[in-house]
Amino acid sequence: MGVSSRLTDQEIAPEAELARFIASASAGPGAGAVVSFCGLARPISGGGAAVHELHLDHYPGMTERSLRTIAEDGARRFEVDQVSVVHRYGTIRPGEVIVFVATASLHRRAAFNAADYLMDRLKTEAVFWKRERGPDGARWIEPTEGDRADQARWGD
């Protein structure tokens, strides 16, 4: 089983990440399914206000460990051969990729479930401090009750 996680301040190129992941997964023991997900910075806040940029602060070492732990937990929990998590930090404009997740498994259901689980955990537990900036200034944002409910359904 291969697990990778990476934190970057550079733009994420999902096409390149997916091509690299598929090449690695197809060299493995029998992946029959690959599922990927890209999270994008939204132009509108949860409250409906315009967002000009999103800034993600991180704590070096701690944030990387949180990403790795979540990726490893997802790989252990589901019958997946490979997991990849790439998360961005710094200033991100609307429409840019914040996170890329990919999973590979023998069958599709495990790959879908693993990707869904990873995103629920990343959204609520990854160590980041998030700030949106719009025409009315900046505001800190936290996971929503919906985010927490999504994560809670896994029973962790």
Spans of all domains in the chain: 2-149
**Quick one: how far is CA 98 from the chain centroid?**
7
Local confidence band at 73 (pLDDT 50, 70, 90 cut-offs): very high
Res 27: pLDDT? 65
Sequence-separated (6 or more) residues with CB below 8 Å from residue 104: 21, 22, 25, 28, 31, 33, 34, 35, 80, 81, 82, 83, 111
Per-residue pLDDT tens digits for 91-124: 999 999 999 999 999 999 999 999 999 999 999 9
pLDDT of residue 129: 97
| CATH class of this structure's domain 2-149 | alpha beta
Segment 16-41 mean pLDDT: 89
pLDDT of residue 26: 76
Residues 16 and 83: their CA atoms lie apart, in Å, by 16
| Centroid of chain to Cα 137 | 26
Confidence of residue 151 (pLDDT cuts 50, 70, 90): very high
Name residue, tokens 């930090």: 89
